[in-house]
Structure 1
Amino acid sequence: MNVLVTGHLGYIGCVLTQLLIEHGHDVHGLDSDIYRNCTFVDCVPQVPYLNKDVRDITLDDVTGYDAIIHLAGLSNDPLGDYKPSLTDSINRKGSIRLAELAKAAGVPRFIFASSCSNYGAAGETFLDESAAFNPVTPYGESKVAVEKALLPLADDEFSPTFLRASTAYGVSPRLRFDLVVNNLTAWAFTTGRVYLKSDGTPWRPLVHVEDIARAYVATLEAPLEMVHARAFNVGQTSENYRISDIAEMVEDCVPNSKVEFSVDGGPDKRCYRVDCNLLSRTLHGFKPQWTVERGIRQLYEKYVEVGLKMEDFEGARFQRIAHVKHLISSNILNEEMRWIA
């Protein structure tokens, strides 16, 4: 298929783009490339792409594709909280407009990067795709709003699918350190402390970035009637853990490390456990390959290989919010997160 991937230079996008190429798809990208200086390992896939903000997409930009996989947006809660109006402009308005343009251009498939953050504060009950939304951050609210806006667009000519990813982890060319497994493993490797900034009690579903990419490819290649206007949780039901459980696994995997709680670490209201069986039942060729424990070992080995230092993952190079603030204070980005030069 001729596929447009928005956000193809991001944490998930780099891994997904490479996998789409390996599956024989003709891949084009669209990305403003804000994180061009955040490359962790130098294997960012090279495909034709538009260097463009998702807010500025035109009809011509999306014409001629068999499918659009829409990843682009502000990717986490700290960025969403930084300036909620930006999250609304980029994640909600930008995504809805992109979908409307795709429909107008005759693009039959539109796969949206939604999130299990939609469930928000949900307690300990396992949630399937029919569970009520209860987002507690601007990021989660934006994902819910897009799903609700896109569903009425579905018809015989336009087929949206919503992939609600669990919390991601694992090595990518554009690695993120604001993700719990990546972050705790980095703390353990660089300081010997598996440093928890909360009380460790909340539940999270976890999924490796490569398994997220596999879910997109499986959805793209599935018969349209199987995924039309449907939402799927992405991950494995067995891979739901308390944050404290993750910390203990890191302690076990990283030599000479020990769990440590921040003195002012309080509870995190984001707490949810997710049933991820529907996607595997629907798409029989899709099966996640990774476990959190194996992912921690992969991260640790990569940190050893590159000689990761604390100032890398806690500073402006790899932390998304710190990097954006640095670009703004340096007059490289303006307050609306657009390039000045």
Structure 2
Amino acid sequence: MADHVLVTGGAGYIGAHACKVLRNAGFVPVAFDNLATGWRGAVKFGPFVQGDLMDRAAIDAALSQYRPVAVMHFAALSLVGVSMQDPGLYWRVNVNGALNLLEATVAAGVKNFVFSSTCATYGDQDGVLLDEDTPQRPINAYGASKLAIEEMLRNFGAAYGLNHVIFRYFNVAGADPDGEVGEQHTPETHLIPLMLDAIEGKRAALTVFGTDYPTPDGTCIRDYVHVMDLAEAHVLGLRRLLDGQGDGVFCLGTGSGFSVREVIEASRAVTNREVPIVLGDRRAGDAVALVSGSARAMRDLGWEPKRSTLPQMIRDAWAWSQKPGFEG
């Protein structure tokens, strides 16, 4: 009988792709989601539990019913701008929700926990290749809340023997090449789907925020990783724990970023369509270049970001954008 894995945020963008990769790896993913930003139609690869991490009884019931071998935690509020305007909301939901989940996990006797953290825990460390040893200095409540959860995991590991793997990454892009799941947010804030919406006329234009950065083309640079590569890393992290290889922290990226203009040019090559753009001012807090290294993940997990090229990520996102999308 296949082992179950409880996937919080399993109806969301990254969580749904992780559920697919878990299913393909022989696990039964149990998607636990309150559908605040997730989609019922994205749950295709295992059971669904509609529940909220602020509701301890709901977590306890799911763990009791499915008795998973591990918890994979994606669920979180993740809009940086909102976290700066309403930090209390992010501390309350992200940190208290994670605390409920961790306490329930330990109480249920589950010993393995895979956490989806963020490179936002590093703060504004411009132009530095971020890795696992880079000092963490978050500058917004989103990054701070994720760092707090990392610390909680270390505490729970020391106190209760909770084995854990932590992943930090920046921008996730692309979609399942099979077209079963993809990226769908309300509101949409990510560059590639916003760009594709502009191409398709779903929005008037793509706004390019700042063209005077000290980069080759004047636009800021970010690292991107394909969502399927990211999901596969989480499953490799899970196998590490199940094999008894110990805790770990891993950054996931390509080690080289792409500028906004490079993303736009790549989309022209993939779609053979022009991107209507509007030039805007820099946004407060936007760094010049944020790039994540992943040498440790490649060495210790055998991870390979093989789909994380701009053409592949845009091609898969473009194919998904032609589909009807999720409902409910």
Moved more, 14-23 or 263-272: 263-272
Match of 1:220 in 2: 238
Give the match for residue 287 of structure 1: 304
Query: Which digits, 9 at most, give the CA deviation of each residue in 1:24-71, with x for residues without a partner?
Result: 1122221111246x57xx664153232111111234443432100011
- Deviation, structure 1 residue 174: 5.0
Letter in 1 for 2:63: V
4+ long deviations beyond 6 Å:
none
Matches within 5 A, 1:91-130: 91-130=94-133
Structure 1 residues not aligned, in runs of 5+: 309-316, 319-341
Q: How far off its partner does 1:17 sit?
A: 0.9
Matches within 5 A, 1:185-334: 185-190=196-201, 193-199=205-211, 201-223=219-241, 228-238=246-256, 240-258=257-275, 260-266=277-283, 268-270=285-287, 271-284=289-302, 286-290=303-307, 291-306=309-324
Paired AA for residue 184 in structure 1: M
Match for residue 178 of structure 1?
A: 189
The answer to whether the 8 Å contact 2:112/2:241 transfers is no
**C-alpha distance in 2, partners of 1:81/1:252?**
36
* Structure 1 residues 298-330: Cα deviation after superposition (integer angstroms, max 9, x where no partner): 222333455x9xxxxxxxx99xxxxxxxxxxxx
Which structure 2 residues correspond to residues 6-155 of structure 1 after superposition, within 5 A?
6-35=8-37, 44-58=43-57, 59-63=60-64, 64-81=67-84, 83-155=86-158
**Secondary structure, in 3 states, of the residue corresponding to 2:281?**
strand
Q: Is the 8 A contact 2:164 2:241 kept in 1?
A: no
What SS class does the counterpart of residue 75 from structure 1 fall into? coil
Q: Give the letter aligned to residue 269 of structure 1.
A: D
Structure 2: tracts of 5 or more residues without a match: 176-180, 212-217
Q: Is the 8 A contact 1:195 1:261 kept in 2?
A: yes
Larger mean CA deviation between 15-24 and 42-51 belongs to: 42-51
CA distance in 1, matches of 2:89, 2:127: 32
| TM-score in terms of structure 2 length | 0.82
Contact 2:156/2:162, CA 8 A, preserved across alignment: yes
The AA in structure 1 aligned to 2:240 is: A
Q: Summarize deviations over 1:81-118 as a string: whole Å, max 9, x none.
A: 45321211111121123113212322111111101121
Q: Secondary structure at the match of 1:124?
A: coil
How many percent identity over aligned positions?
A: 24
Q: 1 CA distance for matches of 2:210 and 2:285? A: 6
154 and 43 in structure 1: CA distance in 2 versus 1, 3 angstrom threshold: closer
Mapped contact 2:205–2:278 kept (Cα < 8 A): no
Q: CA RMSD in A?
A: 2.8
**C-alpha displacement at 1:144, in angstroms?**
1.1
Aligned mates of 1:182, 1:118 — CA distance in 2: 24
Shift in CA distance, 227/250, structure 1 to aligned 2, threshold 3 Å: farther
Partner SS state of residue 249, structure 1: helix
Provide the rounded CA distance (Å) in 2 between the counterparts of 1:120 and 1:206. 17
State how far apart, in whole Å, the 1-side matches of 2:275 and 2:183 are.
27
1:68–1:110 contact (8 Å) kept in structure 2? yes
* Residue type at the aligned position of 2:173: Y
Post-superposition shift, 1:135? Answer: 1.9
- 126-135 or 177-186, which deviates more: 177-186
CA distance in 2: counterparts of 1:245 and 1:268, whole angstroms: 21
Deviation at 1:278, TM superposition (A): 0.9
Is the alpha carbon distance of 1:88 and 1:260 closer, same or farther for their aligned partners in structure 2, counting shifts above 3 Å?
A: same
Number of aligned positions between the proteins: 305
Taking the aligned partners of 1:18 and 1:260, their CA distance within structure 2 comes to 35
Deviating more after overlay: 208-217 vs 292-301: 292-301
User: Normalised by the size of structure 1, how large is the TM-score?
Assistant: 0.79
Deviation larger for 140-149 or 229-238: 229-238
CA contact 1:44–1:173 (8 Å) conserved in 2: no
